[in-house]
Amino acid sequence: MTGPEGVEIVGVGTAVPDGVVTNTDLEKVMDTSDEWIRQRTGIEQRYRIKADQGESVKHLAKDAVIRALDAANMDAAELDLIVLSTMSSEMTCPPTACRLAAEIGTKNAGAFDLSAACCGFVFGLNTAYGLMQTGQYRNVALIGADTLTNIVEYSTKGRNGAILFGDAAGAVILRKTSDTGKGLIAQAMHSDGARWADLSIPQTKFDLPEGVEFDEWQLGKLYMNGQSVFKFAVGTFPRVIEQTLDRAGMTAGDVDHFICHQSNRRILEAARDRFGLAEEKFHINIDRFANTVAASIPLVLNDLVSARSVKPGQRVMFVGFGGGLTWGTSLWQL
Ligand code: ACO
């Protein structure tokens, strides 16, 4: 154990598959339109893995973490923990994080998958920070990666999922530092399992929400009550941001960047307007990537790092919500 130390984010990396699916592509296989998707969600395109050629969440996560290690100027052998936040693990066992750790060449680093749907990256940050504060872990890779295009139905009956989701991965490298000013300032993690039925992937006919008529095609596919999740998100986003600012003794003006799960442009704009924040502080990139679940937050962070908009000394609040239902934040001093 060492004395009090800070934690810094020293590298960011992302990965998307080669395959792009535009709204116009979707028009060809389901009853929808480019105009409807743009107006209702802000999405223009999404990326899709080639699952039939063996591409999986592991490939994306691996590319992202290798890029993040490069950015951090760190070798994989220096990592002592890998946390892979995903709801798209290749298999129930082994954890995808273990195969990933072996492939990038860690030296028996701890590795596990963390399942918290669209809150995966935020819950992963809070978990990783807590573990680092025990003094047992110095260099941690946190990856948010998902491939929901595998479990959405590309036809009119599954269109609310098909238009919304895309595949991607984003990784950060967290490192202990003697600068105690750097690290997590405040956080929140919540759930309401009574609302599980709003978003699920039924495996048997007994998993379907009450009142939903069983049809074979639904098994293993995403079921979402879009309107219910939408209303929940519009109310919850501002509440959890306010709660975190209260815990930190800060106001929205004290935070330099709000990096939120990219669920729907309208949900994000409602939260941005509620706090009267400028576009430069409350970021939206859903147009290019769609909703990439646990990857959406590091994709935004990577955009900001590439544009040199994020600087040491700034404060960043990460905000997520999603299946569970779950919602939470992680407020950092960079
Ligand atoms: N294309 C064209 N028309 C459509 C489509 C479509 N893809 N989907 C629905 N419509 C039609 C409907 O039939 C309906 O027509 P009607 O008025 O004639 O009956 C109309 O559009 C409105 O339908 P709604 O379902 O009310 O559409 P809504 O505005 O709610 O948008 C959407 C649907 C985009 C799914 C929205 O509800 C949403 O974004 N919800 C939030 C989802 C979310 O954020 N999930 C995040 C969590 S993800 C995780 O944790 C894994």
Tokens of 209: 């929400």
In the structure, what pLDDT confidence band is assigned to residue 218 with cuts at 50, 70 and 90? confident
Predicted local distance difference test score (pLDDT) of residue 3: 55
Centre of ligand 1 to C-alpha 226, Å, is: 5
264 and 89 Cβ atoms separated by less than 8 Å? no
Question: Which are the contacts of 331, defined by CB distance < 8 A and separation ≥ 6?
Answer: 184, 185, 186, 187, 244, 245, 248, 250, 255, 315, 316, 317, 318
> Residue 160: CB within 6 Å of ligand 1?
yes
pLDDT per position as a tens digit, 10-60: 999 999 999 999 999 999 999 999 999 999 999 999 999 999 999 999 999
Q: What is the pLDDT of residue 205?
A: 86
Determine whether the shortest distance from the Cβ of 154 to ligand 1 is under 6 A: no
Distance CA 231, CA 99 (A): 38
DSSP 30-99: SS--HHHHHHHH---EEE---GGGT--HHHHHHHHHHHHHHHHT--GGG--EEEEE-S--SSSSS-HHHH
End-to-end, the C-alpha distance of the chain in Å comes to: 23
- The SS3 assignment for 187 reads strand
In contact, 100 and 142? CB cutoff 8 Å: no
- Kind plus residue range of the DSSP H or E element containing 236: helix 226-248
pLDDT 10s digits, 99-128: 999 999 999 999 999 999 999 999 999 999
Band of pLDDT at residue 142, cut at 50, 70 and 90:
very high
> What is the per-residue pLDDT across 161-183, written as a single tens digit (0 to 9) for each?
999 999 999 999 999 999 999 99
Residues designated as active site: 118, 261, 291
Residues 6+ apart with CB under 8 A from 307: none
What is the percent of the chain where pLDDT is above 70? 99
For residue 310, is pLDDT > 70? yes
How far does residue 323's CA lie from ligand 1's centre (Å)? 16
* pLDDT at residue 156 tops 60: yes
Dist CA 35 CA 26 (whole Å): 12
- Has residue 1 got a pLDDT over 60? no
Q: Which two tokens stand for residue 193?
A: 């399992």
Looking from the CA of residue 324, the nearest atom of ligand 1 is 50
